[in-house]
Structure 1
Amino acid sequence: MSGPDTTPHPSFALQGFYGWVEPLKGIYYGPGSTASALPKHVEVLGVKKALVVTGKTLHDKTDVVKKVEDILKSINAYGATFWEIGEHSPIAGIRNGIKAFRDAGCDFIVAVGGGSPIDASKAMLYYMKQEYGVEIMPQIAIPTTLSAAEYTVGAGYTDDEGVKVAVTDPKLVPAGIILDAELTLTTPERLWLSTGIRSLDHAVENLYRPLIPPPLKIMCYAAITDLFKYLPESKTNPQSLEVRQKLQLASWMSIWPHSRPTYSALGLSHTLGHKLGAAYSIPHGITSCLTLAPVVKLKAEVASQEDKECLAASLFYLGKPSTGTLEGDVRLLSTLITELVSNLGLHSNLTHYKVPREDIHKLAVSSVGSEEDPDVEKVKKLLEDLY
């Protein structure tokens, strides 16, 4: 029997355009693509004045936002910039962003940054529809992390009580997406790499998420392969635009296109991440570093035969031989994820983020949905092992 196929990936072009269905008009990708892609998106959408939505650090400490502003100004499409978006998209920033949007007379948003400004922009557009009876206006997303928030039909934000809340509407998918590796060069290493693990979390959990068809699972395997390969390379050579662009494409493959009509957690790792992130101020990328490997290990025990087969098949794409059993293969995948997180310098624990041990029961129950769920004790043990 021959061993795993270790043929290198073909050298695909790292710039181009991909068109899809409403509301997404298309995705431009490639280093430096923003300068030409942003005007094209504006022209196709027929919009006039943008509110640039971003975070304070990206606005104050880099030139990324100014580059976007200058492009919009060159085509007379700039309205204002709002940079009060914090981690986990607090509701106060969303309210203030709506006011900024209306005060400047804007008719679309350009979201620049990670998942927080992209999700906050979706929430702003959603609530403007609810409050003012207007149609959901377009968003153009220019991500600078690998969180992949730009590919979903909904958004998560934090309410006044510190609880993660979701809004969903098929029209919340951005109307345009630009994947420009040049604009990621100033992204802090820990944020860049940890959101790469977030994308890995998407790809892995989609292997056992119900109703994901086989062709999309193949995309997830491709994403897993590239994330394992290029995240360490990006840590070693952080200025490589080629590696960064390949990681942006891997992030895209980890979750898009999915015809999910509603926005929800992909699986247990994401659910735990939502519970931990907002309540204890843990970045979403780091929650995936904490939870993904233990959840995969748990799947070796509790998953269906089909789900175990899907997870075990990842070893082939990673060039690893089978252990001889499905359960062993799934546990090996968990070990490989743990090693990747550690090698990237992203290992952490719940003690570091001051998560009280007395909260474990509440976290486990809310993650599985019921005290009566047969897996609640297993999830409690999973969380206890994260200290």
Structure 2
Amino acid sequence: MSALDATNASSSNLHGSYAWTQSLQGIHFGPGSIKTALPKLLAKIGAKKALVVTGRSLHEKTDVVRNVENVLKELNAYGATFYEIGQHSPIAGIKNGLQQFKDVGADVIVAVGGGSPIDASKAILYFQQQETGGPYLKQIAIPTTLSAAEYTVGAGFTTEEGVKVAVNAPELVPAGIILDAELTLATPERLWLSTGIRALDHAVENLYRPLVPPPLKHLCYAAIADLFKYLPESKANSQAVDSRQKLQLASWMSIWPLQLERYSALGLSHALGHKIGARYSIPHGITSCLTLAPTVALQTELASEEDKEWLAGALFHLRQPSTGSIDGDIRKLSASIDSLVEGLGLRSTLTEYKVPRADVPDIAEQALGSKQNPVLPKVVALLEALY
């Protein structure tokens, strides 16, 4: 094998690790990596007893949680499993989870599942720190979807009134993340693919999000290309672990951890998703299926010239020819996203989720943060077109 062949052979390696110098100390990835990565991470952070936090369906309908529990039991580090975390992380589950965390004497949470248990675990640790005044305790995240909640410093959860709110602190980012594609095989197809569009939403909106440095924007280009390639492959062959592993890596690239990041909506698509998700019980991934493509098209009217150039540049990475104009390229990107959503069988409407038309102005106002925002009529029109 020549040196060039050796380089090419290793370029698609699906196993490895990455370490962050602050709160996020290690990301381990690769099929089957749970067995080696979880012991390493527990030892690195000095944790002795874990509370596993997950959702009811994952706990009752799959063996995924049992696999994690078994690794912890072999290490004599298993405390208990809490599985009352619902969609959009309701505050009632967070309060009950905090109580069980204290009852079992846990010093670490191992969150297993999608964005809801991972965000709920951050919230549990946030409120635990607020109660004790001591240091933040740690979370190890084992995601089974592509929503990428594990890479942020914030936790979104739903109040008793049904309003999505957030807490954030740099210490809330998980101390360890394990991307084991074998654990995603039981994830329902619609959830898996729609959270892939959520990851695409991260990558696209990071192209015009303030304070994202150019090197990370280029990672987002790579994420966009891989999500467009491997989401259809994963739909065609749901048992292809290599495609799933590459999608997990694309999800990571879509929202690469930023040391100075604060938890906030990345852009208009995310802001709209936050407002319609919990309020109308629309899953995270589906909100992106609804809002991303039209939001991208709207950037031809709203974005700065620099941000437009970044958006238009995505076509090159998708190996699509330019239309000859920046605005035309952005509209073509929007159409490509729309076609991807359609091809994955994820098209939906606000009518399907029983969102009253009368609520549209209020949703738009909340997403923009002001009734006086001059963009408000355009956002109202965007939402009206989703029925």
Residue type at the aligned position of 1:167:
V
- 2: CA distance between counterparts of 1:257 and 1:53? 22
Show the counterpart of 1:269.
Answer: 269
* Helix, strand or coil at the partner of 2:370: coil
- Structure 1 Cα separation of the partners of residues 252 and 135 of structure 2: 27
C-alpha displacement at 1:134, in angstroms? Answer: 2.6
Residue 78 (structure 1) aligns with: 78
SS in 1 for 2:264: coil
Question: Structure 2 counterpart of 1:355, which letter?
Answer: V
The Cα shift of 1:22 comes to: 1.5
- What residue is the counterpart of 2:149 in the other structure? 149
What is the aligned-residue RMSD (CA, Å)? Answer: 1.1
**2: distance between equivalents of 1:228 and 1:259?**
28
TM-score, normalised relative to structure 1:
0.97
Residue in 1 aligned with 2:385?
385
2:337 corresponds to which letter in structure 1?
I
Structure 2 unmatched runs, 5+: 1-7
Equivalent in the alignment of 2:107: 107
Give the match for residue 3 of structure 1.
none
Match runs of 1:209-288 below 5 Å? 209-288=209-288
**Cα deviation code 1:181-223 (max 9, x no counterpart):** 0000000000000000000000000000011111000000000
Residue 135 of structure 1 and its aligned partner are, at CA, apart by 1.5
Q: CA deviation at 1:260?
A: 3.4
Q: Is the 8 A contact 1:153 1:260 kept in 2?
A: no
Alignment partners' CA distance in 2, 1:231 and 1:40: 31
Q: What secondary structure is seen at the aligned counterpart in 1 of 2:259?
A: coil
Taking the aligned partners of 1:73 and 1:10, their CA distance within structure 2 comes to 35
Matched AA of 2:283:
P
- After superposition, what is the alpha-carbon deviation per residue over 1:124-171, rounded to whole angstroms, capped at 9, x for unaligned? 000111122232101000000000000000110000100001000000
Q: Deviations over 1:39-62 (max 9, x none)?
A: 011111111000000000000000
Instruction: Normalising by structure 2, report the TM-score.
Output: 0.97
Q: What are the residue-to-residue correspondences of 1:17-28 with 2, within 5 Å?
A: 17-28=17-28
Secondary structure, in 3 states, of the residue corresponding to 1:84? coil
Deviates more, 1:133-142 or 1:108-117: 133-142
- More moved, 255-264 vs 234-243: 255-264
Q: Which runs of 4+ in 1 moved over 6 A?
A: none
Query: What corresponds to 1:90 in structure 2?
Result: 90
Quick check: 2:152–2:261 contact (8 Å CA) kept in 1? no
- The aligned counterpart of 1:364 is 364
Shift of 1:25: 1.2
Q: Aligned to 1:166, what secondary structure does the other structure show?
A: strand
Question: Alignment identity in percent?
Answer: 68
Change (3 A) 1:307 1:10: farther
Q: Does 1:160 align with 2:160?
A: yes
Pairwise CA distance, 1:9:
11
Correspondence 1:137 to 2:134? no
Q: AA paired with 2:50?
A: A
Secondary structure, aligned partner of 1:110: strand
Give the deviation of 1:10 after TM superposition. 7.8
Q: State the alpha-carbon separation in 2 of the partners of residues 217 and 18 from structure 1.
A: 19
How far apart are the structure 1 equivalents of 2:314 and 2:209? Answer: 15
Deviations 1:214-240 (A, max 9, x none): 100000000000000000000001100
Change (3 A) 1:158 1:322: same
Deviation at 1:257, TM superposition (A): 2.5
Moved more, 284-293 or 17-26: 17-26
Counterpart-to-counterpart distance in 1, 2:308 and 2:351: 31
The match for 2:3 is none
Q: Using the TM superposition, give the Cα deviation of residue 12 of structure 1 relative to its aligned residue in structure 2, in angstroms.
A: 2.0
Give the SS at the match of 1:156.
strand
Shift of 1:303: 1.1
Does 1:319 find its partner at 2:319?
A: yes
For 1:371 and 1:99, locate their aligned partners in 2 and report how far apart those are by CA, in whole Å. Answer: 40
Alpha-carbon distance in 2 for matches of 1:306, 1:259: 24
Quote the offset at 1:259 in angstroms. Answer: 2.8
